[in-house]
């Protein structure tokens, strides 16, 4: 096999076998005459980008193999197939940290949740207190990173080059944030609540590289919906998803969903720490859209991403384009949809790249902040290439646009998704 001529012959035979079996070779055999052909951009904005980022699989404790973006802080993306169900399995749920010194184990005999700052009665609560003194509540809600799908941005922007897998849906069970705050008695003059988890970074005290902290406005109605979750899909939270408790902020991007939540502080001044004042800010424009030129000219006023909810999105999970479909053989086109603005009321599928649309069937409703599965039965009658597309509408009438969005943070992507597929003849 070390004769290069023999090897090339073997390769082309192997690819011939694959093609006969109906699989699409991803890359053509590289004979010398084709060697200078450009490869497609792996993650660019063309009709059919790779669904996930192009990254290696890695295995972490309590996790199935996930796609590694970075290891310090840990960023792991969920592969596409795990979105076939409305609830994302805990062991496949994506992971994102900013800082390095994360907890590997937590001793519940000494761990306490602290409620402090501008309150009548500061509280120090054990896990036992949370489990026994407050009524449990559950909410199905999508946890989506602000930078989900950032790799689609053109021009490219700095930050983790996520595909579509920086999201997941779970049934979160715990106690209402407001039940705890009622007991603590938040005093007048409070403007924000600050949340901090257990991990640290190696940077100097007082810097973003030392501590990750996020704050929500005290008058934000989402506080009524917030849950301090000790369960995820009926199990304790995986360590990498925030054991022992995390904040769940239904409808908002996950940057506020503090993991290993240990301090809640009532603030009398707006939080000006790095993660509020500098990071996670969006242009104060429709869709958070702007241009590189306006950013360079210093024209862009920004607001925290928590000022908006997650825009409506939908995804094609199957078919994924990795094998041919067959004329006359029905296929179920399916995926998930959600909106931070409420219930998904309609999902439409296109078989012609977005020219015409047909209504898809919606799966079970698990509440306004959950993934909702959808499906569409298709029996192709003609061989050829097809571009499938999907778009969702929510109860507020928001519908996914076909225009891309651009901002320097790489946030708020919600353009209509497409999937190229090939249909072959049955004989
Ligand atoms: N303690 C802590 N909580 C955190 C973060 C973090 O770095 N530390 N990152 C936030 C961001 S930006 C995201 S996208 C989500 C990711 O949640 P997951 O790792 O459970 O998927 O956690 C949020 N909560
Ligand atoms: Mo994030």
Written as one string, the DSSP assignment of 252-320 is S-GGGS-TT--EEEEESS---SHHHHTSSEEESSGGG---HHHHHTT---EEEGGGS-PPPEEEEEE--
The alpha carbon of 425 and the centre of ligand 1 are apart by a number of angstroms equal to 47
Q: Which atom of ligand 1 is nearest to the CA of 94?
A: 21
Cβ burial of 39 (10 Å; 0-12, 13-18, 19+) is exposed
Query: Residues with Cβ within 5 Å of ion ligand 2?
Result: 96, 145-146, 255
Bond from prior residue into 73 cis (ω within 30 degrees of 0): yes
- Collapsing DSSP to helix, strand or coil, 53 comes out as coil
Q: What is the pLDDT of residue 322?
A: 87
| Backbone φ/ψ region at 267: left (φ over 0), alpha (ψ -120 to 50), beta | beta
Q: What is the pLDDT of residue 49?
A: 63
pLDDT tens track, the chain, 427 positions: 344 444 443 333 333 333 333 344 444 444 444 555 655 555 544 544 689 998 999 999 999 999 999 999 999 999 999 999 999 999 999 999 999 999 999 999 999 999 999 999 999 999 999 999 999 999 999 999 999 999 999 999 999 999 999 999 999 999 999 999 999 999 999 999 999 999 999 999 999 999 999 999 999 999 999 999 999 999 999 999 999 999 999 999 999 999 999 999 999 999 999 999 999 999 999 999 999 999 999 999 999 999 999 999 999 999 999 889 999 999 999 999 999 999 999 999 999 999 999 999 999 999 999 999 999 999 999 999 999 999 999 999 999 999 999 999 999 999 999 999 999 999 9
- The rounded distance, in Å, linking the Cα atoms of 241 and 222 is 21
Q: What is the pLDDT of residue 50?
A: 86
- Collapsing DSSP to helix, strand or coil, 4 comes out as helix
Ordered structural domains, the chain, with CATH: 1-279 (3.90.420.10), 313-424 (2.60.40.650)
The alpha carbon of 200 and the centre of ligand 1 are apart by a number of angstroms equal to 13
Q: How far apart are the first and last CA of the chain?
A: 36
- Collapsing DSSP to helix, strand or coil, 151 comes out as helix
* DSSP string computed for 198-241: S-B-SSPTTSTTT--EEEEETT-GGGGT-EEEEEETTEEPPGGG
- The rounded distance, in Å, linking the Cα atoms of 37 and 49 is 18
Answer whether 96's CB lies under 8 Å from 254's CB: yes
User: Any bridge partners for residue 193, and if so which?
Assistant: 216, 266
| pTM for this model (two decimals) | 0.90
Exposed e or buried b per residue across 98-120, where buried means at least 16 C-beta atoms within 10 angstroms of its C-beta: bbeebbeeeeeeebebbbebbbe
Exposed e or buried b per residue across 262-274, where buried means at least 16 C-beta atoms within 10 angstroms of its C-beta: bbbbbbeeebebb
- For the chain, the C-alpha Rg in angstroms (whole number) is 24
Minimal-distance CA residue to ligand 1 atom 8: 97
Q: What is the pLDDT of residue 1?
A: 34
Instruction: Indicate whether residue 280 lines ligand 1 (CB < 6 A).
Output: no
Answer whether 48's CB lies under 8 Å from 321's CB: yes
């Amino acid at each position: 096999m070390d004769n290069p001529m023999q090897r090339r012959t073997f390769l082309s035979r192997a690819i011939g076998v694959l093609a006969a079996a109906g699989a699409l070779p991803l890359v053509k055999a590289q004979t010398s005459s084709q060697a200078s052909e450009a490869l497609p951009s792996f993650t660019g904005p063309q009709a059919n980008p790779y669904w996930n980022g192009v990254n290696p699989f890695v295995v972490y404790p309590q996790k199935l193999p996930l796609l590694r973006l970075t290891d310090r802080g840990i960023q792991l993306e969920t592969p596409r197939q795990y979105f076939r169900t409305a609830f994302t399995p805990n062991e496949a749920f994506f992971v994102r940290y900013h800082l390095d010194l994360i907890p590997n184990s937590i001793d519940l005999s000494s761990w306490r949740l602290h409620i402090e700052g501008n309150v009548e009665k500061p509280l120090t609560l054990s896990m036992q207190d949370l489990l026994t003194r407050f009524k449990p509540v559950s909410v199905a809600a999508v946890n989506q990173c602000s930078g989900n799908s950032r790799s689609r941005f053109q021009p490219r922007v700095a930050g983790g080059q996520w595909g579509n897998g920086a999201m997941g849906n779970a049934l979160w069970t715990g106690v209402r944030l407001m039940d705890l705050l009622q007991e603590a008695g938040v005093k007048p003059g409070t403007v924000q609540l600050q949340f901090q988890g257990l991990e640290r970074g190696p940077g100097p005290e007082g810097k973003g590289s030392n501590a990750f902290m996020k704050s929500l406005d005290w008058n934000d109605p989402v506080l009524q919906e917030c849950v301090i979750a000790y369960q995820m899909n009926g199990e304790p939270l995986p360590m990498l998803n925030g054991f022992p408790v995390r904040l769940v902020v239904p409808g908002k991007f996950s940057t506020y969903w503090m993991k290993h939540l240990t301090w809640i502080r009532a603030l009398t001044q707006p939080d000006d720490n790095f993660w509020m004042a500098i990071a996670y800010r969006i242009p104060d424009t429709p869709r958070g859209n702007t241009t590189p030129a306006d950013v360079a000219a210093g024209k862009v006023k920004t607001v925290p991403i928590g000022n908006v909810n997650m825009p409506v999105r939908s995804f094609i999970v199957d078919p994924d384009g990795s094998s041919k479909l067959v004329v006359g053989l029905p296929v179920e086109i399916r995926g998930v949809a959600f909106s931070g603005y409420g219930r998904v009321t309609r999902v439409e599928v296109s078989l012609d790249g977005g020219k015409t649309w047909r209504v898809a069937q919606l799966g079970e409703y698990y509440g306004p902040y959950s993934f909702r599965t959808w499906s569409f039965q298709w029996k192709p009658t003609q061989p050829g290439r097809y571009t499938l597309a999907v778009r969702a509408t929510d109860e507020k009438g928001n519908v996914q646009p076909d225009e891309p969005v651009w901002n320097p943070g790489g946030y708020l992507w919600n353009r209509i998704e497409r999937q190229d597929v090939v249909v072959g003849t049955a004989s």
